[in-house]
Amino acid sequence: MTLSVDVFWSFRSPYSYLVTPRLRELAETYDVDVRIRPVYPLAVRSEGFFTKQDPLFIPYLMRDIRRLAEFLELPLAWPKPDPVVVDFATLNGAKDQPHLDLLMPLGVMAGRTPQGLAFYDEVSRLIWRGGEQPWNEGDQVRQAITRAGLDMDLLASAAQAQAAEIAAEIEASQEAHREAGHWGVPTMVFENEPFFGQDRFDVLVWRLKQRGMTPRA
């Protein structure tokens, strides 16, 4: 029996990026349907979130993600440009979000295909790997999508034709995220049980094995 896991995930979350290769490997190795459900970053969907944090929050975050990336042997640098355009007076997301306007619809459409996990893995690697050239310049996004086995033009055309449905799907995912029992990303949900954070991945796998997870043929 195929088991199903929903993953509430953000393009701006380093922890979402860092867990994605393991989610991809899980779905390729075992009979598990892993569905990425993108939500807007906290700076956009939770006004004032970052102004309410302890001043040590960001310094520790940066230390932790660098350490974790080294542990997982993954490249990591804060994205250039940041996927979220930030109003630095408030630390909230600005009104206009051109990078999310590009990424979110593509992600929703890709998530409807068998290559969805590959899309999120390849695109997040592009955004978070660092490098001198900004991730959104040239044809880098197109190349990442091609590596995932998808066509960017076809995804973009379908997304444009279904803009209202995509907006409703993202809103539904954000509501389902909270109903599952958490607000942060990545939150992995199996049988209505939330597993928040990349450091709960092994606990999720343990639970899946309890429920009879089997290798793919």
Alpha helical stretches, state H, 84-151: 98-111, 116-128, 140-147
* Cα–Cα distance, 100 to 86 (Å, whole number): 12
203 vs 51: which has the higher pLDDT: 203
Tokens of 16: 């979402």
Taking only the tens place, the pLDDT of each residue in 122-147 is 999 999 999 889 999 999 999 999 99
**Distance in Å from the first CA to the final CA of the chain:** 12
Q: Could you give the angle at which helices 57-72 and 14-29 cross, rounded to 10 degrees?
A: 30
Taking only the tens place, the pLDDT of each residue in 150-203 is 999 999 999 999 999 999 999 999 999 999 999 999 999 999 999 999 999 999
Taking only the tens place, the pLDDT of each residue in 54-81 is 889 889 999 999 999 999 999 999 999 9
* Cα–Cα distance, 52 to 57 (Å, whole number): 10
Write phi, then psi, for 3 (nearest 5 degrees): -95, 155
Task: Name all domains of the chain by residue range, CATH numbers in brackets.
Answer: 3-210 (3.40.30.10)
Cβ atoms of residues 3 and 190 within 8 Å? yes
